[in-house]
Amino acid sequence: MAQTETATLGGGCFWCVEAVYQRVKGIESVKPGYAGGHTKNPTYKEICTGKTGHAEVAQIKFDKNIITYEQILNVFWQSHDPTTLNRQGNDVGTQYRSAIYYKNENNKKIILASKEQYQKELNKKNLGLIETEIKMIDTYFYAEQYHQQYLASPGSRQYCSASPTKVKLKDFAGSNYKLNDHVWENFDWEVDKCVLRSDNNPIKNYI
């Protein structure tokens, strides 16, 4: 029986976050939306002004019998650049900030542990400090229908603003953050500003 848990993550444009996670085994749904701000039921037009306080995020529902919250975070850190403040690639603004929103203290501990470890890996490459916003929230607003599965839609603009550092979050004592290298073979790390160039088929048998 599936045991569903939810993660709410922002890594630049929500199209990019959705495109990455909708292919990962154990993910039940990925829904682009808005979180972290103060305006109720914001529209995309309002979000783009930067006045609502919200970030573009994706709400990810996953079966924790198949993939853990820790492994969800492993994908998160490596699929964008968390060291850039209020931007990802060519997309600039507070709505494009790196963000992790959680609902319980146990998840907070996991988030902070993974952040600390990833910062250590970034330091080895002389990269910057992680700017990811991490906070507890209790509201999430779904984005307009035309934003759902945008990059998987026929005729969509195959562009993703995410700019991964190409630094891996390695395994460390007491963690199970590491994913099989097979996962990363499905992403084109050589293409700047784009973590995903593929047919959107699910990645299978990677754990």
Residues with catalytic roles = 13
Q: Which residues contact 197 (CB under 8 A, 6 or more apart)?
A: 158, 187, 188, 191
Which stretches does DSSP call E strand in the chain? 4-11, 27-35, 55-63, 87-88, 91-92, 98-102, 133-136, 141-142
CA 119, CA 206: separation in Å to the nearest integer?
25
Residue 51 neighbours by CB distance under 10 Å: 13
- Angle at which helices 14-21 and 69-78 pack, to 10 degrees? 130
Question: In one letter, which amino acid is 122?
Answer: L
